[in-house]
Amino acid sequence: MSILHNRHHGRNKLSPKQILSDPVLFLAFGFGSGLAKKAPGTFGTIAAVPVYWLIVQTNSIVYSLVTIAVTIFGVWICGWAAEKLGEHDFGGIVWDEIAGFLITMWWVPFAWKTLVLGFLLFRVFDILKPWPIKWVDQQVRGGLGIMLDDVLAGIFAGILLVFID
């Protein structure tokens, strides 16, 4: 049983091959993790862990610059992917989860405990979408809308993580 969708995606019915061979869609789909049949957001967050692992070994300036770049470029990446798919905030677009997880982990030093706890907290905020995350998710369109709810989930999860840690 495959964990990846072999069907077509979005209203424009893009195949997995089209998604994986297009550099922007490949990024938007979290290096392919967004093609998961179930829980693509969780798989997208899992894809964020190696990205986090690479940049957390640098200094805080590099971590900050990469996180800001992933977030800012994510607005364009997610907006372009949604347009290409013909569907706003398609579930397989998970670049926003990558940015949100990096934001969650921004203010804490690396430890396995904080990695696991940050992962769980981010997923909870991203799935439950408490106010104002849900409002943003429903009201803001385009790439900014796709990114902003996960940015907020990352901020909320990160603040809670700082207090728990």
pLDDT of res. 6: 56
pLDDT of res. 56: 96
For residue 9, give the 3-state DSSP assignment: strand
Other beta carbons less than 10 A from residue 18's beta carbon: 14
Structure tokens belonging to residue 91: 């579930």
* Euclidean distance between CA atoms 95 and 44, whole angstroms: 7
pLDDT of res. 106: 97
**What pLDDT, in 10s, does the model give residues 38-70?**
999 999 999 999 999 999 999 999 999 999 999
Q: Is the pLDDT of residue 1 over 90?
A: no
Claim: this prediction has a pTM higher than 0.75: yes
* Euclidean distance between CA atoms 83 and 95, whole angstroms: 15
Does the N-terminal peptide bond of residue 130 adopt cis geometry, omega within 30 degrees of 0?
no
HSE-CB for 11 with a 13 A CA cutoff: 7
**What pLDDT, in 10s, does the model give residues 101-125?**
999 999 999 999 999 999 999 999 9
* Euclidean distance between CA atoms 165 and 162, whole angstroms: 5
